[in-house]
Structure 1
């Protein structure tokens, strides 16, 4: 867990839940084909373990957009389509789901505001993390700290040459090569560059690669699988 004043941030792994294969076991994603009752139990169990009220967690309907919104309550059973949220409400936890994409957590402990973003290839290139920074700054954040969670690393995230070239035109820092010499994308480097350009200089990492780490969910490695989550919240 990461701690910054009254801010808490954490990333889950795939163990300790109740989902059956291929989602075993702490799948937190509700749109991957898992039993809804198992997902609900996993979400409640995770919240309790983190010291969060399970009724006070915001989950998004993630669609690889650059849409960021301010929230004061959970969305309920029909969340809107967006990929980043922020809040200044203590005790309201924000969750970003991922299984190779990056869960990016932001906070300004002094201003009392936290944010969470789901930043995959499409969302990163569209600028979802800068959009979240802008939304938080509009609400008083001025000294933001970032934590970038586990994701597919540049040494593993193989893509066609054309896709690498298109991404590099938008965000040059994403240009990378796999460990076996083929084109790839380094989304972590791209997100770091976006944060720095947005004025966020304190950047921390959970730098595990989801593809390489068996304790984490990876869509690229496993195909049909579950989702981990990054959580950010202000302690009441």
Structure 2
């Protein structure tokens, strides 16, 4: 497990890339450079937070262009803090509702998976040898429910091997900032003890990224990179806990090739 600074995105600006293997593309977006107005300013990619849909659409198209992706071949989810995994085999029909899930897997080149966050952890996984990639939204409920282990299992069912997988855990609320009631910490840590944390204020906290890293290690994933940025402490990233009504940034993963 390694902490990997985000290079030119260390202050929350621009795209942060993580190498997960040959033929695999990844990115974590930031907050600036889009078209949304306050309080979603400006590169909000979340379509269910109250922002102008036209602005969200323009922002999504802009990021797709920056990443060399066809915006019609980016898969999104209706995230519900669960552990369901959706297998994506084709682009979504225009205007169709996205699937209700918190993780996705695909083996289709050029079909990107996107996960939205604003304090929860975006988790990207890849087995480039098998040609399988996955993405998960793992906050407190999802980590407790085991959404990332469920994603690993679904990737194994599609030919991946855990020993070949690489994972990237993106920016999220850090354990020094993520304050929770004592009973909530106890509930999570009864299942994922590595998530135990105490905040800078000396109160009960959760380190979700540490918990996810432990889940990946238990699943046999040897290569785990952690973006050390805390969403609450980084103005260039969206944070629901810091700002309340706000936008969402995203993690993307895809197999290169297959653009139509």
TM-score normalized with structure 2 length: 0.89
2:235 match: 214
Cα distance in 2, alignment partners of residues 212 and 74 from structure 1: 35
1:172 match: 193
**2:48 equivalent to 1:31:** yes
Query: 1:2 Cα shift?
Result: 1.9
2:24 match: 7
TM-score normalized with structure 1 length: 0.98
Cα distance in 1, alignment partners of residues 99 and 107 from structure 2: 19
**2:47 equivalent to 1:20:** no
SS at match of 2:46: coil
Deviations 1:174-232 (A, max 9, x none): 11100121110010110001000100010012120000000000000000000000000
Query: 1:51 Cα shift?
Result: 0.8
* RMSD, aligned α-carbons: 0.8
Deviations 1:3-43 (A, max 9, x none): 32000111000011000000000000000000000000000
The answer as to whether partners of 2:209 and 2:226 remain within 8 angstroms in 1 is no
Cα distance in 2, alignment partners of residues 84 and 140 from structure 1: 17
1:51 match: 68
Q: Which residue of 137, 140, 143 corresponds with 1:121? A: 140
**2:97 equivalent to 1:81:** no
How many positions carry a matched residue from both structures?
A: 236
The answer as to whether partners of 1:13 and 1:215 remain within 8 angstroms in 2 is yes
1:108 match: 127
SS at match of 1:34: coil
Query: 1:75 Cα shift?
Result: 3.0
The answer as to whether partners of 1:59 and 1:74 remain within 8 angstroms in 2 is no
1:53-202 pair list within 5 angstroms: 53-76=70-93, 77=95, 78-142=97-161, 143-202=164-223
Unaligned stretches of 5+ in structure 2? 1-16
Deviations 1:38-82 (A, max 9, x none): 000000000100111111100000000100121112334301210
Unaligned stretches of 5+ in structure 1? none
Cα distance in 2, alignment partners of residues 183 and 118 from structure 1: 23
